[in-house]
A = this chain, B = another copy of it.
Amino acid sequence: MPHTQHEFANRTANSCRRFHWIPSVQHSPCRPRINVETYEGQYSANKASEVQKRTFGSAATQIQRNPAYSELTSDDVSYFKSILGDNGVIQDEDRITVANVDWMGKYRGASQLLLLPKSSVEVSKILSYCNTRRLAVVPQGGNTGLVGGSVPVYDEVIVSLAGMNKIISFDNVNGILTCEAGCVLENLSTFVENEGCIMPLDLGAKGSCHIGGNISTNAGGLRFIRYGSLHGNVLGLEAVLADGTILDMLTTLRKDNTGYDLKHLFIGSEGSLGVVTKISVLTPAKLPSTNVAFLSCNDYTSCQKLLLAARRNLGEILSAFEFMDNNCIDLAMRHLEGVQNPLPASQTKFYVLIETTGSDESYDKTKLEAFLLRSMEDGLVTDGVIAQDISQASNFWRIREGISEASVKVGAVHKYDLSIPVEKLYDIVEEMRSRLGGKAEVLGYGHLGDGNLHLNILSSKYDNNILAQIEPFVYEWTSAQRGSISAEHGLGLMKAEKIHFSKSPEAVQLMGSIKKLLDPNLILNPYKVLPQSVL
């Protein structure tokens, strides 16, 4: 299989296996800023009404404003000014408008009030008052969510955590960071990297998203395969309950088996059980050596076997295992500027990006190279290259992460973020292709190492006939595999009524009971996460 094209000048002719080394990437590669998976990134703000219609299409009825909630009065505003001062109470139309709309311009509320508390005590006073007055509240972090969870649906009071952005302490023996919830993830990353550590999560929105929002949505992101879920990395939390109770669970202990571990209720409950105000989190040691390989596989079975082999053989240095089908690569090459396929054009159906991160450059190189050579000998990999500098590594990542950006350039795209057992993960892509015939292009890619598929369905324009072929089939199919209809984005407003596709009726019922226990007046982030029928 000779190369017909050759992108890298330093690729030598005698490279029998097509794997090469030059000085490895030091520290983290200058990875291009990754776009958050833009579920409806293709919609412009002026199409919001169309989107809303689609969003609520599968619910029995459009959600109505809950009349149990009071409407804001000037007395309410005066009270908030008395506790927060004038600067903490925002009524300026421009600033309110920004906070009313999510970053995709898809979800748009009509709040008249944005509050900016500076302390947990102020958050407590706000919630206590709102609870007594039956004023609904939406807690807001960086407002980078993808499911309409961080903006009002109607006239909820917006409580932004942006003013609570202090780092409280850093224990550099154990790598434990304690900070307020409004800290921007990227700022925390910079801070802990100066201390020789990294945050256990990284995601495209890091320049805007707050750590409190990350925790409230149980954000996944790029380091999940290596460092796992926030349920394992968050050590302590402080949260304010709907009635204003400040719940202090802010330990910095790795081990604590004294009673129920309540903090987990607030990780991933999307601000509907309480407002996270402070956190403590484990920060792993920063490792100096990163390598990235871009490989081709003939079939999905080989991708799976390669994943297994990578887990076994790369073991402790494996830090990413991403896959893309050929349609994704074609799309990226057509629509992304300056991006090149590092492998020659071929009949290859699948591509895999493997990243390793470790503490020893030369060792990691040798290990990855040996692994890849063995994988070729075993027939799992048909071709591949290893990035030989930061620029090449960035190009490899750019292909993977540019797929989402490229997909919105085609015209219309339906995007699904699914968790499916790895052995079944690609079946839905093929089923969808067969189902749609030539009416739309179907792409599959994602975090294979985490069992997380991004299913994209592209056509030249939105067509309800195509949508009817996709939904509810995609949810029903995922449900039948015991998969998740939201791997990492949460439910928010968009999928609150679809929870039953991934959770049993008994579980949803218990969630409703817990919601009512912690927030009996349902003031926190209404209309979201749970179906209205259980509340």
Contact = CB atoms under 8 A, between A and B. Distances in A.
Interface of A: 171-175, 196, 217-218, 220, 224, 228-229, 231-233, 245-249, 251-262, 264-265, 267-269, 273, 285, 287, 304, 307-308, 311-317, 358-360, 363, 367, 419-423, 447, 450-452, 482-491, 495, 499, 501-504, 506-508, 510-511, 513-514, 517-518, 529-530
Contact of A529 (B173, B220, B259, B363): B259
Given A359-B316, A451-B174, A257 B517 contact: no
A43 B464 CA distance: 74
Contact of A258 (B363, B367, B486, B518): B486
A359 B315 contact: yes
Contact of A257 (B245, B316, B360, B486): B486
Nearest to A504: B248
Given A260-B269, A285-B315, A419 B233 contact: no
Given A224-B255, A254-B452, 13 more contacts: A173-B304, A173-B422, A174-B421, A174-B451, A231-B231, A248-B507, A251-B482, A254-B450, A259-B502, A259-B503, A259-B511, A260-B273, A285-B312
A154 to B, nearest CB: 22
A268 B260 contact: yes
Nearest to A288: B315
Nearest to A175: B311
Nearest to A313: B359
Contacts of A489: 257
A55 B514 CA distance: 34
Contacts of A264: 231, 261, 264-265
Nearest to A286: B312
Contacts of A253: 419-421, 451, 482-484, 487
Nearest to A360: B367
Contacts of A451: 174, 253-255
B257 A490 contact: yes
Nearest to A282: B228
A491 B259 contact: yes
A323 B360 CA distance: 27
A262 B514 CA distance: 10
Given A173-B304, A285-B311, A488 B257 contact: yes
B174 A422 contact: yes
A367 B358 CA distance: 12
A487 B248 contact: no
Contacts of A511: 259-260, 262
A490 B260 CA distance: 10
Contact of A256 (B259, B304, B419): B419
Nearest to A318: B285
B257 A261 contact: no
A87 B367 CA distance: 55
A254 B217 CA distance: 15
Contact of A232 (B229, B360, B450): B229
Contacts of A504: 247-249
Closest 3 CB pairs of A and B: A232-B232, A264-B264, A256-B484
Contacts of A287: 315-316
A216 to B, nearest CB: 11
Nearest to A425: B173
B268 A257 contact: yes
Nearest to A452: B255
Contact of A247 (B268, B359, B486, B510): B510
Nearest to A483: B253
A258 B503 contact: yes
A360 to B, nearest CB: 7
A268 B315 CA distance: 29
A313 to B, nearest CB: 7
A252 B359 CA distance: 31
Contact of A508 (B251, B259, B307, B510): B259
A374 to B, nearest CB: 13
6 contacts: A246-B506, A253-B484, A255-B451, A256-B502, A258-B502, A360-B367
A308 B259 contact: no
Contacts of A259: 269, 491, 499, 502-503, 507-508, 511, 529-530
A360 B358 CA distance: 13
A529 B273 CA distance: 24
A13 B334 CA distance: 67
Nearest to A226: B316
A217 B257 contact: yes
Given A262-B511, A285-B315, A517-B514, A173 B256 contact: no
Contacts of A486: 256-258
Nearest to A363: B363
Nearest to A171: B421
Given A422-B171, A510-B247, A261 B218 contact: yes
